[in-house]
């Protein structure tokens, strides 16, 4: 694809994480950079390379294995992934759907889709990783309560039409800006960078068919016990809540409440509580320059600062201090 030539992607190719001709090293380094996975080597010579850049909460990579490979990462869980071959082809199985990915057809992989991939020899792909927390925060702004539902996408994203070409151009523009984020470089305004990041995600949410679009404005009322549980969580974020505590105040057993969260939120009650705490912490870090990261963590119920930072980065793609430094 001419628009994504190596010259065009030069700012990303200058950010090499590793290159290798060894199978074990390649599996270890890709697992560290992206996600644990099972990797079966097929025909061809190992000639692996990973390049990676970060733009706000987003991670953009190029990856090749050289050889033909079969990849089984299971569900992504904590992030959404867009894959588009720069060279070669790949077969991407998302649940019951199959995408024959080429430079003209990307794959949009939702966090909870079962996933298997087969890359032909010589395939090199551009990967865009979007943290689930960022996705959900923007989804709520765009679709309201509909974004509380599990997210699923139609996985085939055509890039050879005007809508796909526009998205491709946005990604290219983001990559061109990577050098401005290096230490010592003149840095554009943080609010403008975040606008670019958000717009790229909104493009996918508005233009690629998904469940949030489908249910926007038509979502049925939630079960009362689920609503009560979430209201109790929001009112007691700093308290040492347990599942029995939450269930009791919602008027349900722990088993029933867990089932309600799984059916309507695609998560568990305690994971939902952690997400609420982290979202609240992010809002505070962006809006109140006087409060410290430690105070924010304690205020939303995290007694262990290291664990708070780990969970925060997992959800938003950056550390709490980086949110503070960006100035919101």
Q: What is the number of domains present in the chain?
A: 2
Task: Write the CATH number for 134.
Answer: 2.60.120.10
User: Are 193 and 234 found together in one domain?
Assistant: no
> What's the pTM value of the predicted model, to 2 decimals?
0.69
Distance CA 144, CA 189 (A): 28
Q: What angle, 0 to 180 degrees and rounded to 10, lies between the N-to-C axes of helices 269-287 and 243-250?
A: 90
**CA-to-CA dists, residue 4 to 50, 164, 177, angstroms:** 16, 13, 15
Radius of gyration over every alpha carbon of the chain, rounded to an integer in angstroms: 21
Task: Write the CATH number for 296.
Answer: 1.10.10.60
User: Are 52 and 178 found together in one domain?
Assistant: yes
Distance CA 210, CA 207 (A): 9
What confidence category does residue 3 fall into, taking pLDDT thresholds of 50, 70 and 90? Answer: low
User: Are 203 and 233 found together in one domain?
Assistant: no
User: Are 258 and 209 found together in one domain?
Assistant: no
pLDDT in tens, 191-233: 888 889 999 999 999 899 999 988 775 545 568 888 889 888 8
pLDDT in tens, 101-158: 999 999 999 999 899 999 999 999 999 999 999 999 899 888 888 888 889 999 999 9
User: Are 250 and 191 found together in one domain?
Assistant: no
Please identify, among 182, 197, 214, the residue that sits at the C-terminal boundary of a domain. 214
User: Are 53 and 194 found together in one domain?
Assistant: yes
Taking residue 69's Cβ as centre, other Cβ atoms within 10 Å add up to 25
Using CA atoms of 13, 14, 15, 18 in order, give the dihedral in degrees to the nearest 10.
70
Distance CA 289, CA 309 (A): 18
User: Are 126 and 153 found together in one domain?
Assistant: yes
User: Are 131 and 277 found together in one domain?
Assistant: no
Q: Hey, which residues does 94 pair with through a beta bridge?
A: 97, 115
Structural domain for 73, as ranges:
2-214
Please identify, among 181, 214, 247, the residue that sits at the C-terminal boundary of a domain. 214
User: Are 24 and 172 found together in one domain?
Assistant: yes
Please identify, among 150, 184, 214, the residue that sits at the C-terminal boundary of a domain. 214
Could you please report the per-residue DSSP string of 253-300?
A: -HHHHHHHHHHHHSS-HHHHHHHHHHHHHHHHHHH-TTS-HHHHHHHT
């Amino acid at each position: 694809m001419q628009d994504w030539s190596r010259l065009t992607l030069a700012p990303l190719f200058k950010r090499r994480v590793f290159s290798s001709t060894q199978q074990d090293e390649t599996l270890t380094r890709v697992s560290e950079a992206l996600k644990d996975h099972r990797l079966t080597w097929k025909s061809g010579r190992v000639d692996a390379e990973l390049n990676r850049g970060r733009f706000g909460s987003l991670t953009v990579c190029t990856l090749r294995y050289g050889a033909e490979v079969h990849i089984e990462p299971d569900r992504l869980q904590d992030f959404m992934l867009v894959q588009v071959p720069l060279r070669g082809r790949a077969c991407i199985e998302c649940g019951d759907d199959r995408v024959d990915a080429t430079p003209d057809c990307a794959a949009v992989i939702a966090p909870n889709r079962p996933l298997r991939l087969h890359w032909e020899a010589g395939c090199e792909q551009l990967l865009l990783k979007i943290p689930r927390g960022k996705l959900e925060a923007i989804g709520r702004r765009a679709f309201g309560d509909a974004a509380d539902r599990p997210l699923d996408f139609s996985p085939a994203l055509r890039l050879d039409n005007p809508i796909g070409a526009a998205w491709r151009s946005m990604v290219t523009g983001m990559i061109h800006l990577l050098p401005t984020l290096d230490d010592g470089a003149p840095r554009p305004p943080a609010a403008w960078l975040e606008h670019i990041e958000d717009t790229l995600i909104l493009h996918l949410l508005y233009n690629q068919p998904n469940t949030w679009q489908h249910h926007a404005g038509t979502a049925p009322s939630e079960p009362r016990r689920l609503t009560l549980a979430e209201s109790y969580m929001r009112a007691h974020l700093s308290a040492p809540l347990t599942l029995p505590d939450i269930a009791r105040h919602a008027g349900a057993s722990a088993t029933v409440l867990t089932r309600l969260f799984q059916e309507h939120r695609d998560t568990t009650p305690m994971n939902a509580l952690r997400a609420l705490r982290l979202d609240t912490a992010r809002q505070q870090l962006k809006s109140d320059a006087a409060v410290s990261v430690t105070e924010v963590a304690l205020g939303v119920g995290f007694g262990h600062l290291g664990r708070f930072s780990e969970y925060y980065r997992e959800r938003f793609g950056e550390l709490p201090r980086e949110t503070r430094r960006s100035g919101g």
